[in-house]
Every structure is written in C-alpha cells, then in structure tokens.
Amino acid sequence: MKFCFSILFIFTSIIVGAQARMELTPKGFDPNPIRSNLPFMTNEKFLDGTKLWIQEFSRGEADVSEITENSLTIDAFRDNAFFYRNLGDTYYQKVKYRMKISKEGNEYVLSFQVTEIYAKNTLMKSGITDYFTPDGKMKDGFQEVKSSIEKTVGIILDSYNKYITNYAKT
C-alpha cells in the first residue's frame, strides 16, 4: 500500500509541476502567450532573475531589449532546435527565438516565437510555419519538425520556469 501511495505522489508531483506546453500549429505556437504563477517578488528582482537565467541558459549569447519596469524581450539562439530526416540523413537546424516576458502581479506572461532558422550557420528564407501544407498538415518528410521543436520549446520554458521560481525564493 505504501508503494501505491508513493507512485501516486510522484505522478501527482509531476502533473502539478508541469508547465503548459506549446504546440506548433500552422499559425505558430499555441497557446501563445502562456501564463504561469510566480512566487512573490519585486519587479526588479523578476527582471534581474530573467536576465541571469538567459545569460546562463544561452551561455552569454543572448540579447535583452525593450526593458520596462516589469517586462523585457529576449532574443537568443538554440543549436539543434529541431530536425528532419531525408534519404537517411538527419538535418539539425539552429533557430533564433524571441521571448517577451512580463510580470503581472503574481504571474508572468510569456510569448514565444521562432524568428530565424539556420542550416549550418546559413540563414534560411523559410519560417517554422513553412513546414506545414496549406491544409495544416506537416509536409512530407518533415514530420519530426513538429515534435522536435515542441520538445525544444518545452525545455526552454521549463528551464525558465524552474529558474525564476527558485530565484524568487532566494
């Protein structure tokens, strides 16, 4: 019986701590923006924590701009953000993404957008939504794009949420 309660506790903890997931659609990521609860902290501490997070997460390769008293915009890169396979070869793409984050009371509001895609450091002319057909399905040969970019976005969002939540407690 103890074992059953232990398993139940673990799954409950995972579900409660889980962040909202963004799904790639033909129009971009959904839901966008997302809202998440935030422990009490001042606007200044929120902005400082967000800046510290992106510098650690991106290894110093990020730009912070549009700073207000309770919001900012981050532009950063993510290597191997998504992949697809063609004729047995796997192609990994680097992306530049933009996050607009603001603090509203005891919540933060975060919007996420892929702004550029790179193949071997060459800027592509296509956007992330160009991997969809006009009827909203993934184009042939690009089925892995959706799941791999969603996984990457989940990693970024989870990292931010954990960091800023722990930072609030310091």
Other C-beta atoms within 10 Å of 61: how many? Answer: 13
Domain boundaries, the chain: 31-168
**Separation CA 110–CA 32 (nearest Å):** 8
First to last CA, the chain: 37
Mean pLDDT of 71-80: 97
pTM listed for this prediction: 0.86
Task: Write the DSSP symbol of residue 7.
Answer: H
Does pLDDT of 14 surpass 50?
no
The enclosing H or E element of 166 equals helix 143-168
Q: Which residues contact 54 (CB under 8 A, 6 or more apart)?
A: 62, 64, 74, 76
Architecture of domain 31-168: 2-Layer Sandwich (3.30)
> Is 19 or 12 the better-scoring residue by pLDDT?
19
